[in-house]
Amino acid sequence: MANLILEVGVEEMPANAVSSALEQLKQTVTRGLEVCRLGARDVNVLGTPRRLILQASAISEQQPDQVREVKGPPVSVAFNSEGHPTPAGIGFAKKQGVDVQSLQKVTTPQGEYVLANVLDRGKPAEEALGGMLEESVKALFFPKMMRWGDNSIRFVRPLRWIVAMLDDKIVPMEINGVRSSNQSRGHRFLSPEPFIVDHADSLVPMLEKNGVICDPKVRMADIIRQAKQLAMESGGVALLDEELLDENNWLVEKPTALIGKFQSEFLDLPRPVLVTAMKKHQRFFPVEDSNGHLLPLFISIRNGGDKGLDIVRAGNERVLTSRFSDARYFYNQDMQEKLEDMVPRLSRLVFQEKLGSLFEKRARLMELTKSVAERLNFSVSMIEYAKRAAALAKADLVSHMVVELPSLQGVMGREYAIKDGEDVSVADAIYQHYLPRYAGDKLPDTPIGRLIAVCDRIDTLVGYLGLEIVPTGSSDPFGLRRAAQGVTQILIEEIDYPTLDILTDFAVNAYNNINGLVFDPCKLSENMHALFNQRMEALLEDAGIRYDVVNAALNGGTHSESIGAAWKRTGVLQNVIGDSDFSSVLQAAVRTSNILKSAKMAGAKVDSELFEEACERELLDVTHLVAAEIKEHIDGWNFQDIYASLKKLTEPVNRFFDGVLVMSDNDAVRRNRIALLNLVQDLYLYLADFTRIV
């Protein structure tokens, strides 16, 4: 058994490219080792911005021999009528490296063919690995690719060296003129000279000696330790944002933290401005005191040792001072007018070519917000605050601060609204209507914030889907899936919100009133439901709901329920599957559905005068009883009680099927029994389409 090491050395990669590339490399090489018949006990990846490293242990030093079957021409082509091989048969055997007399005859659905058993002799592992590793590296996908050299391949950055070794043997491979060797390179500044690797197990220790910490977990722990230590020594606490930690980790090969200062006068700026300028522009960690107030300090991570650290610190301080000076200028400019005064400038910003400007979006948002708020029975004062929040929600997009720092959209709107004396519920909603901004982000926590967040996204979705601009595959340039997911995440806890169809109708009316646009209602409804069902399925499966339960719940249920009610119904269905009576309920529901599939008939009324058996009357009576109970339960979306009511149908349904022939020769009786079963199935569908449950 031998150990494999692969190091792909490149120019510095973007921070967001390395982690994904390493995971891809691990998966591809793991599969490749199996295909090469070499196996591996353990495959591990390490990396820095300059190198992708893969380690694999316990690899066979020689491929085992393999016999594979190769199908040849038809027997009638390979042999003549006398059984002698033809030129076609001889040629096939020669190509496969076998004796023509060893060809076997096999019968297939297409006829009789010849078959060759070809022996593939196992190669030494170092010979078999090269091509596989080469293709694995070439197959890596990055968010942004580039060409260099002869433009024959695309990669994230130009390749500079490749180390590929099986124990002490070099695995031969070549990518765009760069050949594998046993020569690696250390840290660009601390140890720039190449060095020789004498064994696969030696690379990582030798890199550490040459200033490179390969393990991202070790680097991350080192960054956290140093940052906390420096902040503590200065009497503060470092704000170690997880995303910023990850970005810094993939920007360095050897982290060295340093602490810098800025003028305390800048602390007069709003905290979000200071924090954003430090994090987004400079990748610095802010420092605060024990009371949560920012200190005039920052921590940055340097790629290298502590040589010349004072020079680096001075440079960081100078750049940050410039950033803060610009921010103060823009903030002072914005402070000279009210947020409301910025609104007219929204007409200069295009929302979408056919959907108008952001000023028109603002008008639609105000109308949509009012409609939904009234539907939710908000108080008069809450409706006015909601309309005010909708009117100002987009205003800060034309402010100097947000133009300079776009990530502060909503944040500055809240700051300026408070400064202008707006109600706190209005100010909070301006900020919260952008939430959630990404997966795992917090949700709006005020009624008006949730309302504006939902209405803003519904307006966007109805506009784009109304124009038939629909996400396809992995392409979603306008973030429509993210918008639908945001609405879904908010509304799964809002069981009393209007249904998706009602929200869509409100938005369609706003587009018609403000822009004069008319959308195809059928296509729009189809696109909206398809998109939201996808988002619901993903969220429900993430929540641990069985795939068949998700399928059954989203394809059943009442057609007038909210997203929150659908979420609750799915959770109840998951729970009742464990009930001892569930299998009986399932069987009765499926039995009902199956017979109706072959008897498509809707709209007919049940005529009790046509009943021939007592079980028909019994089923109708129980159906009326259960329907009345469900009507009471559905008002509060009490799906647990709906299930309890559905259990009452089980025995009457079974007695009905045992006691009558549904497909009677008498046309009127048959139609009457089918109509009765349609009533029963409608009741089951209040909970789920039971036929989809495995």
Residue-wise pLDDT for 192-234, tens only, equals 999 999 999 999 999 999 999 999 999 999 999 999 999 999 9
Once rounded to an integer, what is the mean pLDDT over residues 380-409? 96
Place 617 in a pLDDT band, splitting at 50, 70 and 90: very high
The per-residue pLDDT for 601 is 64
pTM: 0.78
Once rounded to an integer, what is the mean pLDDT over residues 154-163? 92
Place 320 in a pLDDT band, splitting at 50, 70 and 90: very high
Residue-wise pLDDT for 52-95, tens only, equals 999 988 887 776 777 778 899 998 888 888 888 899 988 998 88
pLDDT above 60: residue 559: no
Place 560 in a pLDDT band, splitting at 50, 70 and 90: low
Q: DSSP for 16-83, please give it.
A: HHHHHHHHHHHHHHHHHHHHTT---SEEEEEEETTEEEEEEEEE-SBPPPEEEEEEEEEHHHHB-TTS
pLDDT above 70: residue 558: no
The per-residue pLDDT for 205 is 96
Compute CA distances 89 → 70, 77, 136, whole Å.
Answer: 13, 7, 37
Structure tokens at 589: 């529901």
Place 125 in a pLDDT band, splitting at 50, 70 and 90: confident
The per-residue pLDDT for 422 is 97
Q: What percent of the chain has pLDDT over 70?
A: 98
One fold for both 341-543 and 566-692?
no
Residue-wise pLDDT for 565-574, tens only, equals 899 999 999 9
- Partners of 154 in the beta sheet? 147
- Please provide the average confidence, as pLDDT, over all residues in the chain: 92
pLDDT above 70: residue 482: yes
Residue-wise pLDDT for 642-652, tens only, equals 999 999 999 99
The per-residue pLDDT for 586 is 95
Once rounded to an integer, what is the mean pLDDT over residues 130-157? 85
Once rounded to an integer, what is the mean pLDDT over residues 470-478? 87
pLDDT above 60: residue 535: yes
The per-residue pLDDT for 561 is 77
Are the beta carbons of 649 and 680 closer than 8 angstroms?
A: yes
Place 297 in a pLDDT band, splitting at 50, 70 and 90: very high
Asked if the bond preceding 436 is cis, omega within 30° of 0, the reply is yes
Once rounded to an integer, what is the mean pLDDT over residues 10-34? 92
| CATH architecture observed for domain 341-543 | Orthogonal Bundle (1.10)
Domain chopping of the chain, boundaries: 2-62+124-209, 66-120, 216-334, 341-543, 566-692
Q: What percent of the chain has pLDDT over 90?
A: 76
Mapping DSSP to helix (H, G, I), strand (E, B) and coil, where does residue 386 land? Answer: helix
Residue-wise pLDDT for 133-144, tens only, equals 999 999 999 888
Please report, as a single letter, which amino acid is at residue 168. Answer: D
13-51 exposure pattern, b = at least 16 Cβ within 10 A, e = fewer: bebebbeebbebbbebbbebbeebbbebeebebbbbbbb
pLDDT above 60: residue 461: yes
| CATH architecture observed for domain 566-692 | Orthogonal Bundle (1.10)
pLDDT above 70: residue 679: yes
